[in-house]
A = this chain, B = another copy of it.
Amino acid sequence: VSEDTVARVMAVVEELGYQANVQAGNLRRKDGLTNSIGLPVGGIDNPFHGTLAHAVEKVALPRGVTVLVNSLDQDEDRERELVAAFLRRRVDGLMLTTASESQRYLALEQRHGTPMVFLDSIPVGIEADAVLSNSRAGAFRGTRHLIERGHRRIAYLGIKDVVTTVRDRRRGFLDAVRRSGIPEQETPVITGLDEQSAVSAVLDLLDRDEPPTAIFSSHFVTTVGAIRALQHRGLQHVVALVGFDDLALSDLLDPGVTVVAQDPQRIGTLAAELVFARLDGVASKPRTYTIETELVERGSGEIPPPA
């Protein structure tokens, strides 16, 4: 073809703003890749998941891969619909946070060869790579932090715990309590909470004859609830509080909130690298990668029990 013709065609391409239809191309392409990966997250407006998704995007960008992010809103049906929609779009891989109790429904797709990596949970009913915080150790450490300062009556607050990681936080808490010889009846364990009910739960706890001198809150929504309740009673400098998961601006609060911080950036980055390694042909046995948490002392967790 003459150079002149090429130039003329390119000019028209420019003029019309032509963009090749990737879907048409994918249809016949040998590798069958769509250069996209699906990422269902709990809620795109949740800061933990937002950071996770952003970290994944950053790894995908230089590879020219588009990340399809959608919220499953803690709804098991929605999770399955989202996954089905991603598969109809023939995503090259799946990175998922999950709201379902079992992910066996993915086994078939896995056998078809679609790489999948779980974020922030260990898959149930299926074997696949997973990247998640060491929740049990983190909760253990946060709780021990309170015990070391002399607390014995420590309350545990948690959300609904269908997912393994959330259950692990409770386990870590109980590990620490048991190991220190504190009788379990002194440590009320309240789960299934959201922010509102956490407020009431803490107010109730504070009304007891022997109220807890410290609180371990295993999720950021319950931590916010606990802070509201403590501020409402003016006890934020009296009752100690350690929260699992970091909170925006928590260092600006008075007292600063001591937390067991996760590293969503690192989780997202590692998980994305894993998916791409699988796509590049790495066929080793699926593994669970554990990311350590960090105890960040900011004040609320260093309050001693009353003398």
> Residues on A close to B: CB < 8 A?
16-17, 19-24, 26-27, 34, 43-47, 50-51, 53-54, 57, 66-71, 84-85, 87-90, 108-109, 112, 224, 227-228, 231, 247-250, 252-254
Give CA–CA (A227, B17) in the complex, Å.
47
Q: How far is the CB of A73 from chain B (nearest CB, A)?
A: 8
Complex CA–CA separation, A88 to B260 (angstroms):
43
* A71, B45: Cβ atoms closer than 8 Å: no
In whole Å, how far is A52's beta carbon from the nearest beta carbon of chain B? Answer: 9
Most buried by B among A88, A112, A228, A253: A88
A66: B residues at CB distance < 8 A = 68, 70, 85, 89
**Closest CB in chain B relative to A281 CB, distance in Å:** 23
Closest residue on chain B to residue A66 by CB atoms: B85
Chain B residue with Cβ nearest A264: B45
Which of chain B's residues have a CB closer than 8 A to the CB of A19? 84, 87-88
| Distance to closest chain B CB from A236 (angstroms) | 9
18 pairs across A/B with beta carbons < 8 Å?
Answer: A17-B112, A19-B87, A19-B88, A21-B90, A22-B88, A23-B23, A44-B50, A47-B248, A57-B71, A66-B70, A67-B70, A69-B69, A224-B249, A227-B252, A228-B252, A231-B252, A248-B249, A252-B253
A46 to B20, CA, bound (A): 32
Q: How far is the CA of A45 from the CA of B249 in the complex (A)?
A: 15
Query: Which B residue sits closest to A81, measured CB to CB?
Result: B61
Q: In the complex, how many angstroms separate the beta carbon of A3 from the nearest chain B beta carbon?
A: 25
CB contacts (< 8 Å) of A34 on chain B: these are 23
Tell me the complex Cα distance, A67–B20, Å: 21
Q: Enumerate chain B residues within 8 angstroms of A50, measured Cβ to Cβ.
A: 44-47, 50
Assuming the contacts A24-B27, A45-B51, A248-B249, asked whether A108 and B17 have C-beta atoms less than 8 A apart, the reply is yes
Q: How far is the CA of A54 from the CA of B253 in the complex (A)?
A: 28
Report B-chain residues with C-beta under 8 Å of the C-beta of A16. Answer: 108
Minimal beta-carbon separation of A206 from chain B (angstroms) = 17
Q: Which residue of B lies closest to A228 (CB)?
A: B252
Tell me, in angstroms, the Cα distance from A90 to B21 when the chains sit together: 7
Given contacts A45-B50, A50-B50, whether A109 and B27 have CB atoms under 8 Å apart is no
Chain B residues near A109: list those with CB within 8 A: 17
User: With a CB–CB cut-off of 8 A, which chain B residues contact A21?
Assistant: 27, 88, 90
